[in-house]
Structure 1
């Protein structure tokens, strides 16, 4: 591969590598939080199925985590709710929002994960300690709202950019 150096006063080409992504989100409101705490540890409550980025998903809410050693936490997982034949690279984030109008997201969990035919669910069994949730402003009228943002990388592409001509530098002196 050869490279050429352009004269200092000519236009210099430049390029950018751009990630083409598809993005979307789903909002899940947990209404009746006190009743959900009666759910046994390791048992999830699932959102309705929703479509984001061309795939079907569900949010799995574990009121008492997914494991006994973290039963004093709530857990949140993203589940790819369809069979797939090839891997899907996903970046997703769970965050609390103050209300359905999506203001003030906070306490976010951001994760990049590759879903495949054998592994179609990932999340955090220790998303937030129940005691901390109950003391927070996120819980109001026995409910809280979670937003799940999802981004899927489609492909990388190269875009050629041309910079403005570079003016010759004055000679020192």
Structure 2
């Protein structure tokens, strides 16, 4: 079962960078899910908002079935979309965990209850040969920097 955890790292006077870890145990069973079916994290708080992460081992749509897709959803109502920098990495990709790297990602406008993310995050075959998959487990790190709050009027 997934075992999420989170932490915060401040980056000077800029908006803080926060992250959530989503561990998948039993990838060999998860990869048998049909295309469009996801492994979903438990809801969690990050940046003062409630989120879930979804991992689609066989893509979200048939044309992406050879790729793993990753997505996030804001699961609470906001008065306007949040503006965020967001980045998915595997937990062992330490070079990408620097908040300066996250800030180089384009700003994403995140409305309530809309799934957003990376439809072709990694080719499934490349993932299965990678060092990210260890003992039938892997951990995804989702980094978030909120640029503009969605609750302000």
Q: TM (normalized to structure 1)?
A: 0.69
Q: Which residue of 2 aligns with 1:93?
A: 87
* Distance apart, 1:37 and its partner CA: 0.8
* Structure 2 residue 24 is the aligned partner of structure 1 residue 30: yes
Whether the 8 Å contact between 2:50 and 2:76 is mirrored in structure 1 is yes
* Structure 2 residue 134 is the aligned partner of structure 1 residue 140: yes
Query: Residue 30 and residue 105 in structure 1: after superposition, are their counterparts in 2 closer, same or farther (change >3 A)?
Result: farther
Whether the 8 Å contact between 1:95 and 1:105 is mirrored in structure 2 is no
Q: Could you tell me how far apart the structure 2 residues matched to 1:77 and 1:121 are? A: 6
Q: Show CA shifts across 1:88-117 (max 9, x none).
A: 10110000123xxxx7356x9945310124
Q: Which residue of 2 aligns with 1:104?
A: 94
Query: Runs (4+) of structure 1 moved beyond 6 Å?
Result: none
Q: Which runs of 5+ in 1 are unaligned?
A: 1-17, 156-173
Higher helix share: 2
* Distance apart, 1:45 and its partner CA: 1.4
Q: Which residue of 1 aligns with 2:117?
A: 123
Based on CA coordinates, which of the two structures has the bigger radius of gyration? 1
Q: Show CA shifts across 1:10-58 (max 9, x none).
A: xxxxxxxx97424311001111001001111011111011111110011
> Which of 34, 40, 46 is the matching residue for 2:40?
46
* Structure 2 residue 84 is the aligned partner of structure 1 residue 83: no
* Distance apart, 1:84 and its partner CA: 1.5
* Structure 2 residue 55 is the aligned partner of structure 1 residue 61: yes
